């Protein structure tokens, strides 16, 4: 037996951040009791659009001051950023097979909803996916799903990033090389 909490796409603009934290954990715990299923992650929260469902995770940043993760947050959000005020949203297809979007945002008050521009990006990504398109997980370019050159875990890459003519592993064999050397242990 399975269960999920379904959040309407339009509710993303009004649900407050804290509602995704403790109350959501309590709901998920209740679902565990109802279904007898053993799970404890937020992938059992689904976003519902008019055409489908998407797995949704919202995580408060755990990066400690001075860590590599904190340094990357400072690059994005400024030197004085407080780690606990940065959240990450990930959207997967309904079965968690592919990552459609991972996006970080900063919020000053947990009593506020996800920022409008982040919700807009989520809606844009879901809209694209429903038209058969995705963002490359590296360069963010929009590509047709049929043009996905390769995958690494839940990431999907355009031909340039996959083959190393663009992206984070440019000139070093691209994500193709990374994937080749992955043992998936």
- Name the token pair of 95: 């079965």
The answer to whether residue 178 forms part of the interface with Zn ion (CB under 5 A) is no
Closest approach of Cβ 134 to Zn ion, in Å? Answer: 10
Distance CA 101, CA 91 (A): 5
Q: What angle do CA 172, 170, 161 make, to 5 degrees?
A: 115
Q: Which is nearer to Zn ion, 41 or 165 (CB)?
A: 165
Closest approach of Cβ 9 to Zn ion, in Å? Answer: 26
Phi, psi of 4 (to 5 degrees): -150, 155
Q: Which residues pair with 55 in a beta bridge?
A: 46, 92
Under DSSP, is residue 56 helix (H, G, I), strand (E, B) or coil? strand
Closest approach of Cβ 154 to Zn ion, in Å? Answer: 15
The answer to whether residue 122 forms part of the interface with Zn ion (CB under 5 A) is no
Distance CA 15, CA 85 (A): 17
Closest approach of Cβ 162 to Zn ion, in Å? Answer: 8
Q: Which is nearer to Zn ion, 94 or 154 (CB)?
A: 154
Site for Zn ion in 132-171 (CB under 5 A): 136, 138-139, 158, 161
Residues at the interface with Zn ion (CB under 5 A): 136, 138-139, 158, 161
């Amino acid at each position: 037996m399975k269960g999920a909490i379904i959040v309407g796409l339009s509710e993303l603009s009004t649900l407050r951040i804290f509602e995704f934290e403790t109350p959501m954990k309590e709901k998920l715990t209740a679902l565990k009791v109802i279904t007898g299923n053993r799970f404890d992650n937020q992938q059992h929260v689904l976003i519902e659009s008019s055409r489908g469902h998407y797995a949704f995770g919202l995580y408060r940043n755990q990066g400690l001051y001075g860590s590599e993760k904190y340094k990357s947050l400072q690059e994005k959000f400024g030197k004085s950023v407080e780690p606990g005020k940065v959240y990450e949203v990930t959207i997967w297809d309904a079965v968690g097979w592919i990552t459609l979007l991972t996006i970080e945002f900063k919020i000053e008050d947990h009593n506020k909803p996800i920022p409008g521009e982040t919700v807009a990006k989520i809606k844009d990504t879901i809209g694209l996916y429903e038209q058969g398109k995705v963002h490359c997980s590296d360069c963010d370019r929009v590509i047709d799903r049929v043009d996905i050159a390769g995958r690494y875990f839940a990431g999907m890459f355009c031909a340039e990033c996959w083959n190393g003519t663009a992206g984070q592993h440019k000139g070093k064999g691209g994500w193709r090389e990374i994937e080749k050397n992955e043992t998936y242990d």
